[in-house]
Structure 1
Amino acid sequence: MPNAYSRAMKAHEDTNEGIRLQKLLAQAGFGSRRKCEEMITDGRVEVDGELVTELGTRVDPAHHQIRVDGSRVHLNPNHVTLALNKPKKVLSTMDDPKGRFTLADIIGDKYDRVFHMGRLDYDSEGLILMTNDGELSQHVMHPRYEVEKTYIATLQGKIGGNVCRRLVTQGVQLDDGLIRLDHCAIIDSNRDTTIVKVVLHSGKNRIVRRIFGAIGFPVKRLVRTQIGPIKLGDLKPGSYRVLSQVEVRSLQKAVGL
């Protein structure tokens, strides 16, 4: 006797409803249509807990649960995720009672219920991710998933490579605990200034400024260039772009969705 999924599939095929599974996977960022067909025939795709290897199978993403290699496929046409380049003197909020410039002034009212995932302080610049996908936002911001963040920091004073190595291997003790960088590299330096690239998982408030301030090298400029797999790239300050399905999928994968 056919199970509920098989009956549902036959109903879709009989009425030509739904969307072909390989097309849906391609739209969700799993690669070209041909690559998605190979994933299906290789036995990597499940629909409602049942392995599907037949090409041409139609599904309804609103009613069927689809998994690839055990991971849930998320595809909601109402969800949007943005990458925004925050300039200095912009608040990482959607509203300010004092009338200061906010993220909402950059994106306008084109997207409904979009909110920022994490913050940058008032004087810092760079990448902020925004979405109306509550599940994605929760995972990106939760400390449990340890999303890597990359910054370019301009420091007051000249530091040596030994300082970078110490921040990675030993870390620095702050008021709220010991913190270590995942990576630290000097990009350029002169007598008065050092530019470093740093990578860390912590999302604590003003963490990069606090780390270098604690060892006597105040941050003069701070730009976040990457969050997980999403890069700032050549996005101009005060502008934003919509992430592709491939980018959204890579971000979902990075945070365990």
Structure 2
Amino acid sequence: MPHAYSRAEKAHQDSYDEGTRLQKLLAQAGFGSRRKCEQIITEGRVEVDGELVTELGTRVDPNSQQIRVDGSRIKLDNRLVTLALNKPKKVLSTMDDPKGRYTLSDIIGDKYEHIFHMGRLDYETEGLILMTNDGELSQHVMHPRYQVQKTYIATLDGRIGGNICRRLITQGVNLDDGLIRLDHCAIIDSSRDSTIVKVVLHSGKNRIVRRIFGAIGFPVRRLVRTQIGPIKLGDLKSGSYRVLSQTEVRSLSKEVGL
């Protein structure tokens, strides 16, 4: 493959001791061993400030230059953090409450500066909330343009059949604020008076899952969000949180066009 001689390379040829080797930064960002990262560079998969870089000696300044691998940006600012939090019931999806009720900040404490939640869960709903101090990522995740899918496990009051799930996908249901369809609906388990369903949708409207099933006569007894885009709740315990890996942040960023 012919070598594209970029401005990024030229800028560092005369000041070899400045900046950090590109392959080292890629390794720090979780792309594998130094040798693996060197291969990624020579394969022509890395851009610095919009220009292709294939020279292994290239040094870059992660604080002032934008680096992309396979078109997706990588973040090297150690001040930026993204968390996955498992919200229990009766916790407000806010950082502060004048009435003194339990909030997200009571779970994460004051370890991270300027961190905020990306979206909300209502007071009675449990499960995955993403939090970050990366403003750009937050705006993209919450913007309706990117239609990030959310997955829920809902326990319904009453027994429903597969025909209702199919109708919610194909026809949807009319709510006060318009027609809404599910992307996916599957029955996991049922008894004489209840049904557990897996629901996937990209709408971020307030209390949307509860309103959908309430509108067709099957109130939600319990609701847990288990996934947002590529990020899964997994075995994260209720009332706890974890820091997303670089790989997870990259996959989420790619999902929302970053």
- TM-score tier by shorter-chain length is over 0.9
When structure 1 is superposed on structure 2, of 173-182 and 46-55 the one drifting more is 46-55
Matched, 1:71 2:79: no
* Maintained 8 Å contact 1:124/1:221: yes
5, 8, 19: which one pairs with 1:5? 8
CA RMSD between the two structures: 1.5
When structure 1 is superposed on structure 2, of 142-151 and 2-11 the one drifting more is 2-11
| Aligned ranges 1:95-110 → 2 under 5 Å | 95-110=96-111
* Maintained 8 Å contact 2:9/2:59: no
| Aligned ranges 1:44-193 → 2 under 5 Å | 44-193=45-194
When structure 1 is superposed on structure 2, of 123-132 and 42-51 the one drifting more is 42-51
| Aligned ranges 1:187-202 → 2 under 5 Å | 187-202=188-203
* Maintained 8 Å contact 1:28/1:249: no
**What is the DSSP-based 3-state SS (H/G/I as helix, E as strand, rest coil) of the residue aligned with 2:27?**
helix
Compared CA separation, residues 6 and 80, structure 1 to 2 (3 A)? same
**What is the DSSP-based 3-state SS (H/G/I as helix, E as strand, rest coil) of the residue aligned with 1:123?**
coil
Q: After superposition, what is the alpha-carbon deviation per residue over 1:9-45, rounded to whole angstroms, capped at 9, x for unaligned? A: 12442x2x32221221233344443332222111121
**AA partner of residue 20 (structure 1):** R
Instruction: Give the aligned length.
Output: 254
> Identity rate of aligned residues, in percent?
82
* Maintained 8 Å contact 2:72/2:253: no
In 2, distance between residues paired with 1:107 and 1:39? Answer: 36
Compared CA separation, residues 7 and 181, structure 1 to 2 (3 A)? same
* Maintained 8 Å contact 2:182/2:201: yes
Structure 2 unaligned segments of length 5 or more: list them.
Answer: none
When structure 1 is superposed on structure 2, of 100-109 and 19-28 the one drifting more is 19-28
**What is the DSSP-based 3-state SS (H/G/I as helix, E as strand, rest coil) of the residue aligned with 1:221?**
strand
TM-score by length of 1: 0.94
TM-score by length of 2: 0.94
In 1, distance between residues paired with 2:32 and 2:146? Answer: 25
